[in-house]
Amino acid sequence: MEIEIQLTNSPIPSQVPPPMAEHGAWVEFRGVVRGTENGAGIAALEYEAYAPMAEKEIRRLLSEISTAQPCIAARVIHRLGVIPVGETAIYVGVAGKHRAEAFALVTEFMDRLKQDVPIWKRRAIPLTACADPTPANASIVTHTQPATVDETIALIHECCTAIEPEGVPLTEARGRTLREPVVAPEDQPPFDRSSVDGFAVRLDDPSKSFRIVDRIRAGDWKPRKLQAGEAVQIATGGALPSDGLQVVMKEDVRVTGDTLHIEERDRERNIRFRGEDACAGSELVGVGTKLSSGALALLASIGHTQPLVTRRPRVLHVATGNEIVSPEQTPQIGQIRDSNTSLVRAFMQSRGITPRQIRVGEDRAAIDSALRAPHSAFDLLLISGGASVGEHDFTRALLADLGYTLRISRTTTRPGKPLIFATRGNAVAFGLPGNPLAHFVCLNLYVSAALLGLSGGLEQSGFMTGELADDFASEANARETLWPARLNFIAGTAQLTLLPWRSSGDLTSLATANALVRIRSGCGKLTRGTRLDFVSTEP
Amino acid sequence: MRVLFFAQLKDATGCASVDLPASSPLDAEQLWAALLNQFPNLATHRRTVRLAKNSEYATAETKFVEGDEVALIPPVSGG
């Protein structure tokens, strides 16, 4: 019988081709990770194998069983590492002349695999707080009155629950949110190692001169018991040959031929001891961590090559409006170029998300046909409309027709007062007022809060505090305002220069803005040095 | 000889493998004695663990010699 075996860290394809050999039956079986393990909900299972032996055993089993159940070909694929719920852990495909022996072979093989093949479910990865499949936001309040910035962000956090996780290779994991605790598989460092270039001698050996009996470089593994009067030359990072040693730095010794003379010896052992950084089983990176380059290096160092992270959200952005034309076109009188599509795209791309984008006129039939098919597959729907009351109502009606529940239809803060926020199960939607500055504000405050919620991340969000760099004269604000600003760090403090803007259609200030400053209502002239809340818009 | 640990045995020993000096061939009993000396935590697992030598399950007669790759196989749970 022809046998093909694969042990892989990658997902098993949803279609595996049948063998070339002529056959009358092709029986396939997939073992899929279930959502519960020992009665508790889980997000994934982690598998481990003794690969060379597992392959040998699978081959032996298939050959043995096929003497009683003669078949033509068999293919076994077992996935290893973290496998999310619902994905295939094992695939078995058997080709036979007739179905009876092919079915029998698969059945017997699966029974015996679970007895003899050295593959283990290493651990179950529990569901993290947010992965509840039933929408938790049924009881969430809806703001009938205009909401403040704080109320809006709080409501968004309440409504946005983490989308499901997936296992990805390290090359795709930067910036993603970890959804499993990563623990040390063995002690770190895994052996006692020298922290200096020097000579290892017995701690209890008071001699002044020693015979050099060996040399250990980093990467060598040369266990031996040192006798009194013996020393081993050892490089930084080299594995100590036994317990009970001290490494004397090479700066404190003199070497003549094979003889070592110690000129100065203190009590410092110059050893990084096994388990000093972390003991086997201790947590190295926690759930909800956004994976930095440093965290990825740590994961690589322990062989954790398929971390379980939140799937990237699927984002659909629809720019509506009869007055907008694409940036390549020359607008007619009364028309403007569409800048929001570029703004949304750049905002999403800086967060590793590629949105699907559609530009349509304000024609209900056109929007419907653009939205009907794909909207259900998206986690986040953004609709850029105009600022007028008519357009606002249009977006509200559209979201209601699509089955969304309206949560917020106005804020008290400008720009961005006509914000719409709606939910449908675990999916969320925003109706963004069409002018560019309002877009900039709504993306950086509200949509970014939603993305954090969808990611399951635990990082701190919200406002930081900085100082006003120059006096700022303005009429008393009747409303809370978010003001585009240039943020610089000078002598360790965040210095904020407010940028001029007259209307929320004003784009010129956005070119230099990298922050938004919150100016409370009723606030008139502000003097240099005033402490102000801000959010950075360049993460 | 190199001795490999898998699954929960990694937690018990704190490592994935260890080099065990074997100046003369060891039988299973002697191998276990040497391992338990170094890793007393393995004692509770001994009853359920099978030994393998060079990727094949060991039998009662198997001798383990220098240069062998030995694996401690706890109860498997693949599929």
In this structure, is the dihedral angle defined by the CA atoms of residues A436, A440, A446 and A448, taken in order, positive or negative? positive
Whole-number Å distance between alpha carbons of A71 and A135:
48
Whole-number Å distance between alpha carbons of A9 and B27:
36
- Chain B residue with the nearest C-alpha to that of A50: B6
DSSP A56: H
Residues counted in chain A? 539
By three-state DSSP, how is residue A537 classified? coil
Low-confidence ranges of chain B (pLDDT < 70): none
The minimal CB distance from A118 to the residues B11, B73, B79 is found for: B73
By three-state DSSP, how is residue A345 classified? helix
Q: CB distance from B72 to chain A under 8 Å?
A: no
The minimal CB distance from B6 to the residues A48, A114, A275 is found for: A48
Condensed to tens digits (0 to 9), the pLDDT of residues A241-285 reads 998 999 999 999 999 999 999 988 888 999 999 888 888 888 899
Low-confidence ranges of chain A (pLDDT < 70): 127-142, 362, 370, 372-376, 386-392, 460-461, 474-477, 503-506
pLDDT at A35: 86
The minimal CB distance from B77 to the residues A53, A121, A279 is found for: A121
Per the structure block, which two tokens stand in for A79? Answer: 């996935």
Cβ distance A31 to B79 less than 8 Å, yes or no, reads yes
Whole-number Å distance between alpha carbons of A517 and A467:
10
Residues in Cβ contact with B56 at an 8 Å cutoff, skipping those fewer than 6 apart? A53, A56
Per-residue CA distances from A59 to A2, A26, A76, A453 (Å): 10, 19, 9, 47
Q: Do the strands A380-384 and A308-310 form a parallel or antiparallel pair, or are they unpaired?
A: unpaired
- Chain A residue with the nearest C-alpha to that of B15: A186
Considering only residues 454 to 513 of chain A, which have any Cβ-Cβ distance to chain B shorter than 8 Å?
A: none
- Measured between beta carbons, the chain B residues lying within 8 angstroms of A223 are 19, 21
In this structure, is the dihedral angle defined by the CA atoms of residues A330, A335, A336 and A341, taken in order, positive or negative? negative
By three-state DSSP, how is residue A31 classified? strand
Cβ distance B7 to A120 less than 8 Å, yes or no, reads yes
Per-residue CA distances from A356 to A163, A198, A371 (Å): 18, 60, 11
pLDDT at B35: 94
In this structure, is the dihedral angle defined by the CA atoms of residues A367, A369, A370 and A374, taken in order, positive or negative? positive
Least Cα distance to A72 among A107, A99, A46, A110 occurs for: A99
Angle between helices A448-455 and A149-159 (to 10 degrees): 30
Whole-number Å distance between alpha carbons of A25 and A22:
9
Cβ distance B15 to A190 less than 8 Å, yes or no, reads yes
Least Cα distance to A381 among A418, A346, A424, A327 occurs for: A424
pLDDT at A132: 38
By three-state DSSP, how is residue A462 classified? coil
Question: Does pTM surpass 0.90?
Answer: no
The complex scores an ipTM of: 0.96
DSSP labels for A378-420? -SEEEEE--SSHHHHHHHHHHHHHTTPEEEES-BSSBS-TT-E
Least Cα distance to B22 among B78, B58, B73, B65 occurs for: B65
Q: CB distance from B78 to chain A under 8 Å?
A: yes
Cβ distance B78 to A186 less than 8 Å, yes or no, reads no
Per-residue CA distances from B23 to B20, B26, B40, B65, B66 (Å): 10, 9, 22, 8, 7
Per the structure block, which two tokens stand in for A303? Answer: 């062989």
Per the structure block, which two tokens stand in for A403? Answer: 């089955």
| Residues B28-55: b if buried by 16+ CB within 10 A, e if exposed | beebbebbeeebeebeebeeebebbbeb
- Measured between beta carbons, the chain A residues lying within 8 angstroms of B48 are none
pLDDT at A133: 39
Cβ distance A54 to B78 less than 8 Å, yes or no, reads yes
pLDDT at A405: 87
